[in-house]
Structure 1
Amino acid sequence: MSSPNSVTVQILDKEYSIICPPEERSNLVGAARYLDGKMREIRSSGKVIGADRIAVMAALNITHELLHRQETPDAPPVITSREQVRELLERVDQALSDDVGSKID
């Protein structure tokens, strides 16, 4: 049940369908690939178990990278605004809550 503005991404072997404006599709897919890579790195380390914990560690690592780049002015910007990060996090939260709800039903 996908809408025209829906994008399906895979993160850590799970599919998430996220509503996204067409002009943001490539950014969303790129962000999902980046997140998936970070989560796979953490999972393969064997130090963190559980998708929720892996997601939190990935979020902390990505946030650390972002803040470090903001402190280094000559580094290329990772994301152009905090609002974009906030919107992506809201989409991920919604997808995760939808996934949990579907398991309960």
Structure 2
Amino acid sequence: MSQKPTTVEVRIMDKEYLVACPEEARDELIKSARHLDVKMREIRASGKVFGTERIAVMAALNITHDLLEQNTMSGAASSLLKAMDEKLDSALGDAGK
């Protein structure tokens, strides 16, 4: 069953935005907006990037990089765990003979 969207006001770098989202996603949207605001303020404070649009793009790139890095690490951890599981199965199989 589809929920009717609600409008949520978020503030990013002192500018207000109205965003439509399902009611059950409201808290996650607010948390995401706060995270983006923090990242954009960090980039602006560095003094290396000027202009809200450029700051937003840099923040998006940084956040995307972090997410992709987490996914890669998760994949690597998964592969490592699988290899360890296979070694355990092999060792336990040999011990059970």
Fold shared per TM-score above 0.5: yes
Bigger share in strand = 2
Q: TM-score, normalised by structure 2?
A: 0.71
Note the 1:42-81 alignment, pairs <5 A.
Answer: 42-73=43-74
Output the CA distance in 1 between the equivalents of 2:62 and 2:14. 20
Letter in 1 for 2:41: R
User: Cα RMSD between the aligned structures?
Assistant: 1.1
SS at match of 2:55: helix
SS at match of 1:72: helix
Bigger share in helix = 2
Higher Rg of the two aligned structures? 2
Deviation of 1:34 (Å):
0.3
Deviation of 1:61 (Å):
0.1
CA distances 1:15-62 after superposition (whole Å, capped 9, x unpaired): 000111100000100000000000000000000000000000000000
Q: TM-score, normalised by structure 1?
A: 0.66
Letter in 2 for 1:46: G
Output the CA distance in 1 between the equivalents of 2:58 and 2:14. 17
Residue in 2 that maps onto 1:36:
37
Letter in 1 for 2:53: D
The number of residues matched between the two structures is 71
Identity %: 59
